């Protein structure tokens, strides 16, 4: 009888041992498969994230952006505050200069000479509700290609307040300085003094070159007007040198009456032609 009980006990131990082994195998196999799937998913996510950052491209941000080859502005939620703050500083004697920018390789599908001017005009249209169009000047500039420009919206404009008085007309790196009739003396004007002071401070630091071209209206002989144009340009040169700009950084020339800014048929037109055009040239 005892031997029967012993046999039953051994069979029971064998059964229990087999069940424990079976449960362990199934448990471990299932757990292994599940963990493998989770780890694979996490690896895929990490690769995707790494692929987005491996390029090192940081998307550009700003109140006004553009897509590649498009003149349609993308306005951020900060645009209205940005627009209103600029409009507030365009007071008498000032204008808003909008520089539209474009890069090599962009397709210009507009009627403008380049995509930069088209972009500047689109921005101008969005200032119509807060600023008189006569207070806005448009210009354009080609810029270098930056990473991500073809794939993401990018900055392609620069807006700033510039002088636009009866004696100083500023646009980009250039300005027109107006003179009285038959004179090489500048009209006494705070805008002129301030502007030439800013030019002097800039080029002394940057070592850029200043080009000065004198112009006249059509009254007088060609020869006398060429001389008068030179005197006017030299007058500006002298002011800049007194402010510390080395003479070697200044180029002086004259076009006399040969390149009028406006027709010489009215006094207003002739006044616009009695000028020195100042341009800051990058080295």
Per the domain annotation, does 49 fall within a domain?
A: no
Residue ending a domain, among 124, 148, 163, is: 163
For the question of whether the overall pTM of this predicted structure is more than 0.85, the answer is no
Regarding whether 175 and 146 lie in a shared domain, the answer is no
Regarding whether 99 and 197 lie in a shared domain, the answer is no
Residue ending a domain, among 136, 163, 190, is: 163
Per the domain annotation, does 237 fall within a domain?
A: yes
pLDDT, residue 14, reads 56
pLDDT, residue 127, reads 94
Write out the residue range of the structural domain in which residue 71 sits: 64-163
Q: What is the gyration radius of the CA atoms in the chain, in angstroms?
A: 36
Among 66, 127, 61, 68, residue whose Cα is nearest residue 97: 127
Helix, coil or strand: residue 172: coil
Residue ending a domain, among 131, 146, 163, is: 163
Regarding whether 132 and 193 lie in a shared domain, the answer is no
Regarding whether 265 and 227 lie in a shared domain, the answer is yes
pLDDT, residue 30, reads 38
Per the domain annotation, does 13 fall within a domain?
A: no
Regarding whether 199 and 158 lie in a shared domain, the answer is no
Domain with residue 182: its CATH number is 3.30.1330.60
pLDDT, residue 17, reads 58
Among 47, 24, 191, 162, residue whose Cα is nearest residue 99: 162
Regarding whether 257 and 233 lie in a shared domain, the answer is yes
What does the H/E/C string look like for 103-150? Answer: ECCCCCCCCCCCHHHHHHHHHHHHCCCCCCHHHEEEEEEEECCCCCCC
Per the domain annotation, does 44 fall within a domain?
A: no
Regarding whether 184 and 152 lie in a shared domain, the answer is no
Per the domain annotation, does 16 fall within a domain?
A: no
pLDDT, residue 194, reads 86
Regarding whether 180 and 119 lie in a shared domain, the answer is no
Among 283, 275, 143, residue whose Cα is nearest residue 203: 283
The number of domains in the chain is 2
pLDDT, residue 101, reads 97
Regarding whether 271 and 177 lie in a shared domain, the answer is yes
Regarding whether 144 and 116 lie in a shared domain, the answer is yes
Per the domain annotation, does 109 fall within a domain?
A: yes
Regarding whether 200 and 157 lie in a shared domain, the answer is no
Per the domain annotation, does 215 fall within a domain?
A: yes
Regarding whether 206 and 148 lie in a shared domain, the answer is no
10-residue mean pLDDT series, the chain (283 residues): 57 56 44 30 30 64 96 95 92 90 96 97 95 92 93 94 82 84 60 88 95 93 92 92 95 94 88 91 84
């Amino acid at each position: 009888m005892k031997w029967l009980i012993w046999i039953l006990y051994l069979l029971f131990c064998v059964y229990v041992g087999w069940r424990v082994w079976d449960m362990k195998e199934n448990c471990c196999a299932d757990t292994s498969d599940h963990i493998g799937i989770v780890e694979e998913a996490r690896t895929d996510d990490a690769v995707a994230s790494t692929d987005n950052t491996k390029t090192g491209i940081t998307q550009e941000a700003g109140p006004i952006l553009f897509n590649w080859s498009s003149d349609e502005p993308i306005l951020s939620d900060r645009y209205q505050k940005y627009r209103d703050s600029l409009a507030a500083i365009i007071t008498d004697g000032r204008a808003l200069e909008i520089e539209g920018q474009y890069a090599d390789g962009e397709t210009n599908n507009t009627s403008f000479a380049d995509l930069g001017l088209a972009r500047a005009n689109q921005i101008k249209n969005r200032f119509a509700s807060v600023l008189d169009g006569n207070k806005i000047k448009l210009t354009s500039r080609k810029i270098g290609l930056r990473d991500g420009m073809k794939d993401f919206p990018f900055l392609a404009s620069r807006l700033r307040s510039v002088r636009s008085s009866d004696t100083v007309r500023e646009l980009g790196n250039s300005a027109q300085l107006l003179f009285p009739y038959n004179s090489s003396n500048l009209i006494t004007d705070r805008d002129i003094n301030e502007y030439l002071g800013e030019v002097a401070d800039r080029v002394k630091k940057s070592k850029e070159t200043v080009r000065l071209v004198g112009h006249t209206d059509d009254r007088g002989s060609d020869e006398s007007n060429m001389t008068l144009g030179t005197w006017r340009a030299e007058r500006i040169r002298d002011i800049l040198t007194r402010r510390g700009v080395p003479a070697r950084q200044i180029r002086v020339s004259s076009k006399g009456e040969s390149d009028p800014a406006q027709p010489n048929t009215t006094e207003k037109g002739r006044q616009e032609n009695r000028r020195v055009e100042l341009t800051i040239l990058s080295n």
